[in-house]
């Protein structure tokens, strides 16, 4: 049986869930997982449904057949074949912990994506990437060549058909034009402290202030630097006895985990933009399973 997912966003009103369930049943489909959310402040409705086709329904037939219901409720909707892997480009600079973590998860099948390229402004990870049989593109960035460099990056995006860009500690600020063109399709990771520290040496600043929690935030990239809609966050406790170097090491671990979880949510169509925020539904049963152990 083919497995599909349906994502829906529209104004909240009665009858939506019933209409979707009846449509799927009429087309020989069995719902295996479902999540929904009504935002009482905005009046918006969000839903994600996983289902199996028991009577050979196709993506095209489902999309076409659903058009009347979509129009009736004013929906933004899409059907997705859960067997199709999203094409992803990873961008990295000189901090490789997130890149290496993603390559491992990809290799064992824990992140079911197609990594179509890795782009870096340095050569540090060229050998690692090529050894995984993934195309590596070194595109240096300076103040003088930044528009040309971004043009080359977008050429790789278009040539590969990439649907998502992951900034795995890519230490360059993207232009407003690129952020707008790839809106909702660029995910970033950065440190997140309580209280927050910006600028150089954030872990040292946190150490000097004696914080007890450090963490990481993964979010969609917008023109407002590090202020895009948040997808995933986590923290780790630290104590007075730990050094700034300990903070950095602990921070690497939590950054890697948070970024991987954010990508997992995005590729499984569990993330919905809701103004400046997101709606993130729980993972479907079995979606974290790896194809192999290592």
The SS3 call for residue 59 is helix
Structural contact between residues 31 and 24, judged by C-beta atoms closer than 8 angstroms: yes
Give strand pairing partners of 243: none
Structural contact between residues 275 and 287, judged by C-beta atoms closer than 8 angstroms: no
The catalytically annotated residue of 226, 234, 246, 253 is 226
Distance CA 207, CA 197 (A): 11
Please calculate the CA angle 16-50-59 and round it to the nearest 5 degrees. Answer: 90
Find the Cα–Cα–Cα–Cα dihedral 162, 137, 171, 183, rounded to 10°.
Answer: -20
Beta strand residue intervals within 110-170, DSSP E: 113-120, 136-138, 164-167
User: Residue 224 catalytic?
Assistant: no
Number of Cβ within 10 Å of residue 224's Cβ equals 10
How does DSSP classify residue 172? S
Structural contact between residues 284 and 33, judged by C-beta atoms closer than 8 angstroms: yes
Residues known to be catalytic: 226
């Amino acid at each position: 049986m083919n497995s599909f997912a349906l994502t829906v966003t529209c104004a909240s009103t009665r009858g939506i869930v019933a209409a979707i369930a009846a449509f799927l049943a009429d087309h020989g489909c069995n719902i295996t997982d479902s999540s929904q959310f009504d935002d009482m402040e905005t009046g918006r409705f969000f839903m994600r449904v996983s289902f199996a086709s028991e009577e050979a329904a196709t993506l095209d037939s489902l999309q076409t057949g659903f058009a009347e219901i979509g129009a009736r409720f004013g929906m933004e909707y899409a059907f997705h074949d859960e067997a199709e892997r999203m094409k992803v480009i990873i961008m990295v600079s000189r901090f490789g912990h997130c890149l290496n973590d993603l390559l491992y998860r990809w290799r064992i099948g824990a992140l079911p994506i197609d990594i179509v390229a890795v782009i870096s402004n340095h050569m540090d990870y060229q050998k690692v990437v090529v050894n995984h049989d993934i195309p590596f593109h070194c595109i240096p960035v300076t103040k003088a060549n930044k528009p040309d460099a971004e043009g080359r990056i977008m050429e790789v995006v278009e040539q590969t058909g990439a649907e998502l860009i992951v900034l795995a500690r890519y230490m360059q600020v993207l232009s407003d034009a690129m952020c707008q063109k790839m809106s909702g399709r660029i995910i970033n990771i950065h440190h997140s402290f309580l209280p927050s520290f910006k600028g150089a040496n954030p872990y040292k600043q946190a150490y000097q202030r004696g914080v007890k929690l450090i963490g990481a935030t993964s979010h969609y990239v917008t023109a407002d630097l590090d202020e895009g809609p948040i997808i995933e966050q986590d923290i780790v406790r630290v104590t007075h006895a730990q050094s700034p170097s300990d903070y950095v090491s602990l921070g690497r671990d939590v950054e890697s985990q948070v970024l991987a979880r954010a990508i997992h949510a995005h590729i499984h169509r569990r993330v919905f933009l809701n103004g400046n925020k997101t709606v993130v539904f729980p993972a479907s049963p079995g979606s974290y399973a790896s194809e192999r152990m290592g």
